[in-house]
Chains A and B, each alone.
Chain A
Amino acid sequence: EVQLVESGGGLVQPGRSLKLSCAASGFTFSNYYMAWVRQAPKKGLEWVATISTSGSRTYYPDSVKGRFTISRDNAKSSLYLQMNSLKSEDTATYYCARHLLSYYFDYWGQGVMVTVSS
Chain B
Amino acid sequence: DVVMTQTPVSLSVSLGGQTSISCRSSQSLVHSDGNTYLYWYLQKPGQSPQLLIYKVSNRFSGVPDRFSGSGSGTDFTLKISRVEPEDLGVYYCYQGTHYPRTFGGGTKLELK
**B103 and A47 contacting across the interface, CB-CB below 8 Å:** yes
Interface residues of B in 33-52 (CB under 8 A from A): 37, 39, 41, 43, 48-51
Q: Using Cβ atoms and an 8 Å threshold, which residues of chain A touch B37? A: 103-104
Interface of A toward B, CB cutoff 8 Å? 37, 44-47, 50, 59-62, 95, 102-106, 108-111
Nearest A residue to B100 via CB reads A61
Contacts of B43 in A (CB 8 A): 45
Chain B: residues with Cβ within 8 Å of the partner, total of 23
Closest to B61 in A: A106
Q: What is the CB-to-nearest-CB distance from A54 to chain B, in angstroms, rounded to a whole number?
A: 19
Residues on B close to A: CB < 8 A?
A: 1, 37, 39, 41, 43, 48-51, 54, 60, 92, 94, 96-97, 99-106
C-alpha gap A111/B103 in the complex (Å): 18
Contact B51 A105 (CB under 8 A): yes
Contact across chains for B104 and A104 when beta carbons are under 8 A apart: no
Contact flag A104-B54 (CB < 8 Å), given A44-B106, A45-B92: yes
Task: Say what secondary structure dominates the interface of chain A.
Answer: strand
- 10 other A-B residue contacts (CB within 8 Å) besides A50-B101, A104-B51: A44-B104, A45-B103, A46-B103, A47-B100, A60-B100, A61-B1, A103-B97, A106-B51, A106-B54, A108-B49
Are the C-beta atoms of B49 and A45 separated by less than 8 Å?
Answer: yes
Please give the distance in Å from B67's CB to the nearest CB on chain A: 16
Within the complex, the shortest CB–CB distance from A106 to chain B, in Å, comes to 5
**17 examples of A-B residue contacts, CB within 8 angstroms:** A37-B49, A44-B103, A44-B104, A45-B43, A45-B49, A45-B92, A45-B103, A60-B100, A61-B101, A103-B97, A104-B37, A104-B39, A104-B94, A104-B96, A105-B41, A106-B51, A106-B60
